[in-house]
Amino acid sequence: MTTWDDRQPIYQQLADLLAARLLDGDPPEGEAMPSVRALAGLHLLNPLTVNRALQALADTGLLESRRGLGLFVVPGARDRLRAAERERFLSEEWPRLRAKLRRLGIAAQQLDWDAGALEEKQA
């Protein structure tokens, strides 16, 4: 079960979670998103909250509505999302992370960049 925090609206947290899944290819481009009812049940949320999260993704051009069929991942959504997330990371998160590394005295040579690759190979 997902744990929500008070720092941002729940619909935005769900939209971020769904966007992360889209980056991982779930669901693949051209495929349908899970229904509002299914997502609401899975995350124990009000369907209106889920609908708002899905609408936020549609508003950014990642999903398209097909009348009577639901929301589908648009072709190219993963690449657009990855580009936007990279830009956000480099402009917002990386400067804070770099500053924290400096404060803690951690040099680039001390970071194990391949740890994630090793974990993925073991899975």
d(CA 73, CA 24): 13
Q: Does the domain made of 10-73 have the CATH classification 1.10.10.10?
A: yes
Could you tell me the pLDDT band of residue 99, with boundaries at 50, 70 and 90? very high
Q: How far is CA 40 from the centre of its chain?
A: 17
What ranges in 24-106 are assigned the alpha helix state H? 36-43, 47-59, 77-88, 94-104
Residue 12 has pLDDT above 90, yes or no: yes
Look at residue 112 in the predicted model and tell me its pLDDT: 83
Please check whether residue 41 is in contact with residue 51, taking contact to mean a CB–CB distance below 8 angstroms: no
Could you tell me the pLDDT band of residue 118, with boundaries at 50, 70 and 90? very low
pTM for this structure? 0.81
What percentage of the chain has pLDDT greater than the value 90?
Answer: 84
Give tens-digit pLDDT for 26-64. Answer: 999 999 999 999 999 999 999 999 999 999 999 999 999
